[in-house]
Amino acid sequence: MTTVEAPASHLLENPFEIAQRQLQLVADVFGISDDLVKVLGQCKKALSVSIPTRMDDGSVEVFQGYRVTHNIARGPSKGGIRYHPDVTLDEVKALAMWMTWKCALMGIPFGGAKGGVICDPKRLSRSELERMTRRFTSEIINEIGPERDIPAPDVGTDASVMAWIFDTFSMNKGHSVLGVVTGKPIMIGGSLGREEATARGALYCIRQAVQKRGEQLDGMTAAVQGFGNVGLHLSRFLVEDGAKVIAASDSVGGIYNPDRIDVSAAIAHKQETGALAGLRGTEEITNEELLLLDVDLLAPCALEQVITGENADKVRAKIVCEGANGPLTPAADEILEDKGVLILPDVLANAGGVVVSYFEWVQGLQEYFWKEDEVNAKLNDITTRAFNETWVTRESKQTTMRFASYGLAVQRVAEATTTRGLYP
């Protein structure tokens, strides 16, 4: 029996400390009391579990897993589960806090949660992944549920993983519990539009931002870092709106064409070979080089802290849309804001996933499912409203989009906390 240890993390700064600093800065701008900052600056609950798993060769590996609830003042907690070698407890706590703000900004009656397992899903067989997922579910089964905490996909997880969690939970309860997770396959209670929701929400924000600047998305150049669920679909949507995607990347590396990349061909090539590299008509580029390209729009859709104080001054994009959670450090924020770059922050720009997760949860509870155009129209309404509220707050407070979005969200959670009071 061996235990899987966490490797050296890609994170340059402690993400939970960043989240706490952001909260304090927002509290200073929006006049939120120190007592409320003390409450909101900590996670309600953090569970660490051991996940022994039988491997295909008969040996046993022991993985480490986490499930964190940050806040439930506005409703049951909600948040993804990521499978990645660099998962840490503080990363999961930060993501849970950001999820609280994301739900509040969007006006969704959820609090924030997050989960993670230290593993490399690409090195596990499908059967190993299923066994590990089912054991992880059994370890956290008393903490999740449609009225308690609702997991969803994140980095390294997908609809299949959600199906295993749903099935494991339901088998233990003795009946199907559709609302225990979101991001499920359509045939077992998933929502139409869920797979593309995060990217579609980002597109709606980009459209609004471009319109506010008196510009047009048609003809703009874009670079997209990350070609998973978010980056792939966002690239496709941008092209459909007339933008030119000139660079894209995955975890291995990227591709570049100064004229434009054939995104449809890139998607097919990725599905066929497992990587973007080698696509005809493109040259190879590193993930680091992609971030520094001279483009109108840069969308980091991979992991946290890819733009830092070390490389932010070399970023030449005019708009940065955070498709990932926390891709910019606070130091990078300051540098880019001073340069006049418009940053569309994660809690706004990538909230489409949790919005449609909410829709899926509602549909599951009702056991009545909506058409895809209805899902997308409701997503557009919610995202556009949140963007406009953030934009107005940005102008009235003379602050950044990040502080405006966080400020609106934190105020709403603080108000709910105050209204409910402290028990006992």
Q: Which two tokens stand for residue 134?
A: 């089912």
* Spatial CB neighbours of 199, under 8 Å, sequence gap ≥ 6: 229, 230, 231, 232, 233, 234, 236, 237, 323, 352
- Residue 14 parent element (H or E): none
Cα–Cα nearest to 70, from 37, 27, 40, 49? 40
**Which of helix, strand or coil describes residue 263?**
helix
* Spatial CB neighbours of 328, under 8 Å, sequence gap ≥ 6: 300, 305, 307, 308, 312, 320, 322, 336, 343
Cα-Cα end-to-end distance for the chain: 45
Q: Which two tokens stand for residue 221?
A: 């150049």
Q: Is 93 labeled as catalytic in the residue annotation? A: no
Alpha-carbon distances of 148 from 76, 168, 190, rounded to whole Å: 5, 17, 19
Rg of the chain in Å (alpha carbons): 21
Report which DSSP code applies to 353: H
Residue 159 CB neighbour total at 10 angstroms: 19
Q: Which of 78, 102, 114, 318 is catalytic?
A: 114
DSSP line for 382-396? HHHHHHHHHHHHHHH
Q: Which residues are catalytic?
A: 114
